[in-house]
Chain A
Amino acid sequence: MAIVPTGHPCWVRANNHTTYGGNVNKIDYQSIGPVNPRTDIGASQFCRLASDVAAIQLTAPFAASTYLCNDTVPGVPTVEDYDAMTGAAPTGIRNGDGDVTFTWLDSYADPYSVIGEINIEHAEATCHAPTAAPATPLVATVELLDLSATGKNESVRVRVWDVATGLPAVDPRITLVVTTGVV
């Protein structure tokens, strides 16, 4: 029978150090610490691990993606790289030049098949060097969207401009980082 871990998947942001077995009063059994540091892990060491993991999992981004807008030949954005806590890359659509929307699923499963919903609360977009001359600076903004009207954001729209002209950028390459919040 498969084990079901305590707590929720990381992206739900609901775990704390006790979820991982930490306890402010945890002690070594019969107050005997590690006998051999090569083979044993003591209560204080384990609690440090639980505390650090609890801190990390609160701010770790859900996903970081680098994509290329396809504007010269209009098409959906090309996801060139995708690193996420779980799941496959989101679906991207093109709204216009330098303007795309990515939509994630409403929920994902962790490696133990525990389901956690998605609620994107923070998004950051950074422009890469322009893909065509002249190499003018670009700037990007983001917009969090609840397209499924569930009360939780599962989509992010990103718009990119050419700073020199103020017009939408054509074929920009962007890195988008999204962080989920409490569901």
Chain B
Amino acid sequence: MLGGFCPLPFRLGSIDATNGVNAEEYSRMGADVASAVVSTSFAAVTLDTSAPGAVLSYNGQNGVGLGAAPTVAFVAPGVVTVTWDLSYSNDYLNSYPLALNSATVTGHGAAALVCTAEISLPNQITVRVHELGVGPASATVTLRVF
């Protein structure tokens, strides 16, 4: 048999574009997925930094929605920490520690907000929000971590 409709192992080869997958096609997919795995963010989280702090929406490789979201803790006006679990398991129950190494943050709303992200622990980001000419501010922000 040729290609995609035979049982696994999946043998590469195709008669035409509607029957099977050839080595070139599968290699392209493998290369593209491998590239995307490296640069794709672990999570995007939009949160409210007002006391007590809250996640508003969450997209993570560990799941989508509030049930999968990290914990937000209010530290001081304009300062919150966002903490994920120390490790996560994938769909096949392989567990890996979380090691955050990049983060970006953007403020929401009509005020001029300067936001910073600090990797305070391998599984924690400290977000600070400052309104220009005012000082520390409570606001909605979007945080992306890698």
Contacts and interface: CB of A to CB of B under 8 A. Distances in A.
A181 B66 CA distance: 11
Contacts of B51: none
Contacts of B111: 141
Given A29-B9, A39-B12, A51-B91, 11 more contacts: A40-B9, A46-B8, A56-B40, A122-B45, A141-B111, A142-B106, A143-B110, A159-B112, A163-B114, A166-B112, A181-B64
Interface stretch (B29-37, B71-79, B120-128): B29-37
Interface in B126-144: 132-133, 142, 144
A101 B12 CA distance: 47
Contacts of B59: 13, 58-59, 121-122, 179, 181
Contact of B44 (A41, A50, A179): A179
Interface stretch (A69-77, A102-110, A123-131): A123-131
B144 A124 contact: yes
17 contacts: A28-B9, A29-B9, A39-B11, A42-B9, A55-B40, A56-B40, A59-B40, A59-B44, A59-B61, A61-B44, A125-B106, A126-B106, A139-B107, A141-B109, A143-B109, A166-B112, A179-B44
Contacts of A33: 9
Contacts of B56: 121
Interface string A28-71: 11101111001111110011011111111011110000000000
Interface of B: 6-13, 23, 26, 29-30, 33, 36-37, 40-46, 56-61, 63-65, 90-93, 104-114, 132-133, 142, 144
B140 to A, nearest CB: 9
B9 A124 contact: no
B50 to A, nearest CB: 16
Contacts of B63: 58
Interface residues of A, number: 54
Contact of B26 (A22, A41, A142): A41
A24 interface: yes
A141 B9 contact: no
Which of A47, A53, A58, A126: most chain B Cβ within 10 A? A58
B91 A17 contact: yes
Given A51-B92, A58-B64, A141 B107 contact: yes
Given A41-B26, A122-B45, A179-B59, A139 B8 contact: no
A122 B40 CA distance: 15
A122 B73 CA distance: 20
B57 A59 contact: no
B93 to A, nearest CB: 8
Contacts of B132: 139, 161, 163, 166
Contacts of A13: 59, 64
A58 B10 contact: no
Contact of A16 (B10, B91, B107, B133): B91
